[in-house]
A and B are shown apart, each in its own frame.
Chain A
Amino acid sequence: MSCHLTVEKLVTLNERYHPFSDLTKDLSDLTDYPPKFHFSAKDNICALGFQARAGSKILDGYRPPFDATVVRKMREADGILIGKTNMDEFGFGTFCTNSAFGVPLNPHDVERSCGGSSGGAAAIAALLEKHVSLAESTGGSISCPASFCGVIGFTPTYGRVSRYGLIDYANSLDKIGLIVRAPSDLRRFLPIISGPDKKDPTSCVQPRLELDGFKVKSVAVPEEALRNLDPAVLQAFEAALGKLKEQGIEAHRVSMPSLGFALAAYYVLATSEASTNLARYKGMLFGVRGGHIDQSFNDYFSEVRSANFGKEAKRRVLLGTYTRMVGFRDRYYLKALAVRQLIIKEYQGLMERDDAVLTPTMPFIAPRFTEIAKMKPLEVYQADFLTVPPNLTGMPHISLPCGYHDGMPIGMQFVAPHWEERRLLDVADRWCGEFKIRFPGAIA
């Protein structure tokens, strides 16, 4: 019941789990009559009345002068924005540990990560009843935290939802989507946020969003996706395949060799684009200002960027700048573009026979922060090997909770052909009709 949500409750939740990086101070608009609903937006989605910092110190204090199209649409549909959710800086991370504004804690176990980069969005969806989180995925930033927090993460087809007002990570990969608690929320909110928007030309080529009319009969399960998994994840996934079969969804074991190239192609493309997107942060027109304006321009912006970008942001800017350089551009950037086409073709090939492709979402359950601290950057990148491929193709996908281990949720991820979101809604409805999602006890 929305009337039970108070600012005090949100503040208490935030003190315990840090899902928010900016929080409303007034919930008086959240009325039962007329009925309003509450939603949150990932901190890289611009909204009037809130800071938009995308997890970065360099945008501290930045209040955008406009609403992102998705925020405007949610508000027009009687939504009340209650806060901006915490995230890895500019989306650069898998565990939501790269935020300049605190680390959100997993509602199932506060010693563990929420996943990233939409960590706060997944955490608050797990914690708050009747809440819908606007999240965003570039390489798995919706599926991963949804899986770790045991909620439903829905990533629509690239171009389905306007990106106007989304602070860019990698424009050719970024997709705004939803993290929710029930399939019915998807059916309600997906039509609201979808549709062409002339402020984002890439949203203007979409066919109409269909919610019904497709019954999934079989899924392709790539062998390559089942290697290097935590045994608990593999076990839960195999059990889920059995239950799906009972629901009339046959699993076909297939080989998908291109899965092995997706990660490399993704990091080349994503960092190439990211390094140009981050060029605009120079301490001049928005965000933080440097202290010494009497320096040369080069010294000035270098000082601002050095002081305010986090370690992972710097790493990705360097990587992306390198892959764009003359001499390396052909070897990395252009090759990665070619690999991306190869992977799209391979998915399309599989989906000629099967209605969707199914894999686990993450290779392990949400890790403890102590474990994350020991991981090398490359090991962290490796953790995305199942969420990156569909993101690279722009195909819609959904992460659904499919089991638990040590009280921690495990997720599975369905991928459908471009614009076929309805297939994902079909499996979500059928799966959640029988599978009981466990929500951690919220604060009374």
Chain B
Amino acid sequence: MMIGLEVHVQLPTRSKLFCSCSTSAEEPNSSICPTCLGFPGSRPSLNRRALEMGVEIARFLDCKIPEEVWFSRKTYFYPDLPKNFQITQYDSALGTDGCFIVNDKSIGIWRAHLEEDPGRIKRVGKSGEEVSLIDYNRSGIPLVEIVTAPDLSSPEEARTFLQELLVELRHIIGTTAGDEQSVRVDANISMDGERVEVKNIQGLRNLEKALKFEASRQFKMHEAGMKVVRETRRYDEERKVTMSSREKETEEDYGYIGEPDLGTFSVGAMARSMSTAETPLRRAQRMAGHYALDFGKMRQIVLTSMPLADLFELLAQRVEPEIALAWTLGPISANWSALLSRLDDQVKEDLASIVVLIANREITDSEARRRIGALASGECPSDLSCAVEDGLLDSIISTYIDEHPQVVKDYASNPKSANSVIGHVMKVAKGKYNSQEVVEAVKKEIEKRN
């Protein structure tokens, strides 16, 4: 099975791609102007931030980035497209020939380019009396289209690809969960022979569902000896089926020409001047290799938050990576939101010293948990350090034995008599010390007095 995707991601800019209208508006048709409505005489001017975000994405996807890019007009008549042409990129792209690694498999990226979104059509009214309402707030919203090679081999893999891509984009350009829900995908799928394009699938879950349905449809047709025809279909979210959209079966002729109003933009220099920040999943891959730990666990850490990964790496410098991992994913993750809210260098150091103590078996697990909880709730870190004062354990033991001299006498004939001392210490110290430590200290004190 071969699957290729065209992923449309909305860029989280404040204003639209070619005008200064806001990208966040609730009331329909409240964020519009002559340019995004295509009024005669209006013209586009490019939002630099959108171009930068697009180039960042192309760079991240290891694309070849040209020195200069330009825009084209893709002409087709549709009610949601104010100018009846879309400004997009055709014989120019932000980047080409890249790749993205999913589960150790490299998925080819054919191209990434920038384009404007059309408006949104809403059909209302009873069947037969439907009217179409158009909201142009979306007209001119910047999109990056990422086109993959047909390297994906299952609906699950396609979903994983998109999921992981969105994780990385969230980090690179600051997309949000809302932007991710609005991701739109056109998927090309071919079992064996003609490819079918399923257009306008919205969101991750629908992508997998649509592809699964389409794969099984094509498989059944194949089994029945029927030919799959090359066509465009659309996914019906309600009925969970793909349906032929009865469009022309040949490639539509969009009559591309250059967009003369925008000129060319130097993106080569822009790309070279950008710094490379490590993205979450690439970091997880690096950490898994560096610390010889499971990628899935590393993924879990980076996806919780990049500062958690920073903390993990701090701990892994001080203690065995396995211990660092156990405490990062355990008590630290459990208290993460509270810890994150007060995470400064002191708190990081306190957390590190707690984990060092536990690694050296100087405090008990429950004591470590208690201290992490205390840090999370903002208790004074000095309360934590006073509990580990040297000699405190010995003084508790000797005070108790002084008051109960019988214990020492009984010990010679019955070593279990030490248990009353141990029980007392554990009760008084509330788990500050580990049991083995207490047992040894008690034995030592009794034997000293004998």
Contacts and interface: CB of A to CB of B under 8 A. Distances in A.
Contacts of A276: 73, 75, 85, 255, 257
Contacts of B260: 170-172, 202, 273
A266 interface: no
Interface string A318-352: 00010011100100010000000000000000000
A301 interface: yes
B420 interface: no
A405 interface: no
Interface residues of A, number: 45
A168 B83 CA distance: 12
Contacts of B258: 172
Contacts of B251: 326
Interface stretch (A61-69, A97-105, A180-188, A235-243): A61-69
A326 B253 contact: yes
A45 B41 CA distance: 8
Nearest to A205: B263
B85 A168 contact: no
A297 interface: yes
Contact of B256 (A201, A280, A329): A329
B261 interface: yes
A285 B37 contact: yes
A200 interface: yes
A200 B82 CA distance: 19
A166 B41 contact: yes
B128 to A, nearest CB: 12
Contacts of B261: 163, 171, 200-202
Interface in A272-292: 272-273, 275-276, 279-280, 282, 284-286
A52 B40 contact: yes
B77 interface: yes
A279 B83 contact: yes
B257 A333 contact: yes
Interface string A162-202: 01111110111000000000000000000000000011111
Contact of A285 (B39, B41, B73, B255): B39
B260 to A, nearest CB: 4
Interface string B25-36: 000000000100
A205 to B, nearest CB: 8
B257 A297 contact: no
B43 interface: yes
Contact of A282 (B34, B84, B256): B84
Contacts of A54: 40
Given A276-B85, A279-B85, A280-B82, A65 B257 contact: no
A298 interface: yes
Contacts of B255: 275-276, 321, 324-326, 329
B136 to A, nearest CB: 9
Interface in B39-67: 39-46
A177 to B, nearest CB: 17
Contact of B77 (A52, A167, A301): A301
Nearest to A282: B84
A279 B255 CA distance: 12
A46 interface: yes
B39 A65 contact: yes
Contact of B43 (A163, A321, A324): A163
B39 A286 contact: yes
A395 interface: no
Nearest to B131: A293
B400 interface: no
B79 interface: yes
Contacts of A167: 40-41
B241 interface: no
A318 B349 CA distance: 73
B38 interface: yes
B173 interface: no
B39 A324 contact: no
Contacts of B77: 279, 282, 297-298, 301
B394 to A, nearest CB: 78
Contacts, number: 102
A301 B83 CA distance: 13
Contacts of B78: 297
Contacts of B84: 279-280, 282
B314 interface: no
Interface string A294-326: 000110010000000000000000000100111
B41 A280 contact: no
Nearest to A279: B84
Given A172-B260, A276-B257, A284 B41 contact: no
A195 to B, nearest CB: 16
A199 B45 CA distance: 6
Contacts of A279: 75, 77, 83-85
Contacts of B37: 285
Interface in A255-276: 272-273, 275-276
Contact of A325 (B39, B44, B79, B253): B253
B43 A200 contact: yes
A386 interface: no
Contacts of A329: 255-256
A297 B78 CA distance: 8
A172 B43 CA distance: 13
A388 interface: no
A391 B45 CA distance: 24
A211 B376 CA distance: 73
A60 to B, nearest CB: 13
Nearest to A298: B77
A324 B41 contact: no
A199 to B, nearest CB: 7
A280 B38 contact: yes
Contacts of B46: 201
A208 B428 CA distance: 87
Given A282-B77, A284-B79, A333-B257, A64 B39 contact: yes
A167 B39 CA distance: 9
B357 interface: no
Contacts of B45: 198-201
Nearest to A285: B37
Contacts of A64: 34, 39-41
A23 B261 CA distance: 30
Interface in B239-273: 251, 253, 255-258, 260-263
A55 to B, nearest CB: 12
Nearest to B38: A280
A142 interface: no
20 contacts: A44-B41, A46-B41, A62-B40, A163-B43, A166-B41, A201-B262, A201-B263, A202-B260, A202-B261, A205-B263, A276-B73, A276-B255, A279-B77, A282-B84, A286-B39, A286-B40, A297-B77, A297-B78, A325-B255, A329-B255
